[in-house]
Chains A and B, each alone.
Chain A
Amino acid sequence: MISAEEFDELFDEIIPSDTARGQEVQERIIALMEKYKFTERDIFSTRLALEEGIINAIKHGNRMDQNKVVQIRWAISSEKVRVVIKDQGPGFDLCDVPDPTALENLERPCGRGIMLMKAFMDLIEYSERGTILTIEKKQGSE
């Protein structure tokens, strides 16, 4: 959720299940963070999380279905940036995602996106059905 009073600017974009369009939104959010003087480290972390979050919504949520869309809302202040990504997929249970660092999963080529978002962002939250992801980065946080 994004409450307007916490932020200075708020944006809303609906894109098709197209990773190139996801990249465009990513670039807009990064440019905004640069305008608000977020640190390079904040930008690195957020870019990584946006990539994982948007790709997950398009590939695993909407299964690349061109008839489905991804809604991305983002809001920024000098203190923090928050992004909400909503897909039209069937949803998933976070508990069903295997631990990619477990020895038996170490060689599996997928399943690391959520873990990276958790490590690099200050907040990562999935809605109950798993179709809405909220991520947040505070300015200057490690």
Chain B
Amino acid sequence: MAAGRRIDVEEVGDVTIATFVDKKILDENNIQQIGSQLFALVEEDGRKRVILDFSSVEYLSSAALGKLITMDKKVKASSGKLRLCSIRKDIYEVFAITKLNKLFDIKDTQEEALQGF
């Protein structure tokens, strides 16, 4: 299957903002592609400061959480920083229930995520 673009990448200064394109991050193939595209930001492009913007995301499964955890590890391993932002209430609940809100640095808006980053 051809790998479609699953994230929009934008640069603000030395910060990379990756915005998810999909409303539903559920499908196994999509999740694999999202993982590869996210990891490439760190492993191939050497980006150190990454913000993941969830404003379009309406659904998220535990398999997607797994990719985010791996992304966090990769960013930390390269001495970078990862922030998550614009997570709607239902989705935030998924993070809170699994206590991943403690693992990730989560901000309400993209502006807030950019501040002091």
Contacts and interface: CB of A to CB of B under 8 A. Distances in A.
Contacts of A130: none
Given A47-B59, A55-B28, A116-B62, A109 B67 contact: yes
Interface string A56-89: 0000000000000000000000000000000000
Contact of A106 (B63, B93, B94, B103): B103
A41 B66 CA distance: 24
Interface string B92-117: 01100111101100000000000000
A51 B98 contact: no
B21 to A, nearest CB: 18
Contacts of B10: none
B4 to A, nearest CB: 15
Nearest to A108: B69
A100 B62 CA distance: 11
A51 B61 contact: yes
Interface size bucket, B side? Answer: 20 to 34
Find the residue from B63, B69, B70, B73 having the highest chain A CB count within 10 A: B63
Given A106-B102, A116-B98, 20 more contacts: A20-B27, A23-B26, A47-B26, A51-B26, A51-B61, A101-B98, A101-B99, A106-B99, A107-B72, A109-B65, A109-B67, A110-B62, A110-B66, A111-B62, A112-B62, A112-B98, A115-B98, A116-B62, A116-B97, A119-B97
Interface of B: 26-29, 58-59, 61-63, 65-67, 69-70, 72-73, 90, 93-94, 97-100, 102-103
